[in-house]
Amino acid sequence: MVRGKFGYPIKPYTSTTDAIATFPTTATAVGLCPRNASLDLCAPFGLSDLLGGIVRPNKRQIRREIYEQKVIRWVKVWPNLSVVGWLEGG
């Protein structure tokens, strides 16, 4: 396990998809990978939160403090976001 920037151990990722599935919110857990002149979409939680402006915690790897810090920063930039609280989501 790697301690990394989170300050607590995390398991090594087994793939890009595995890593994306640990992103701190469901809306940010999205990636594109070039494949044979096209793009493969990786969105383990779907795209509805991203397209709907919903911030929902993905508790697989982050702690509440990290999520809440991100929410505070993001609502200053995008005040119309719909925020799902730590205890409500995920």
Print pLDDT tens along the chain (90 aa): 555 666 778 888 999 899 999 999 999 999 998 888 999 999 999 999 999 999 999 999 889 998 999 999 999 999 999 999 999 865
CA separation for the pair 28, 19 (Å, rounded): 12
CB 76, CB 25: distance < 8 Å: no
CB 19, CB 36: distance < 8 Å: no
pLDDT of residue 8: 74
pLDDT of residue 6: 64
pLDDT of residue 90: 58
pLDDT of residue 9: 80
Output the six-digit token pair for 48. 């509805």
pLDDT of residue 52: 97
Output the six-digit token pair for 5. 């920037």
Residue 72 DSSP class? H
CA separation for the pair 1, 66 (Å, rounded): 20
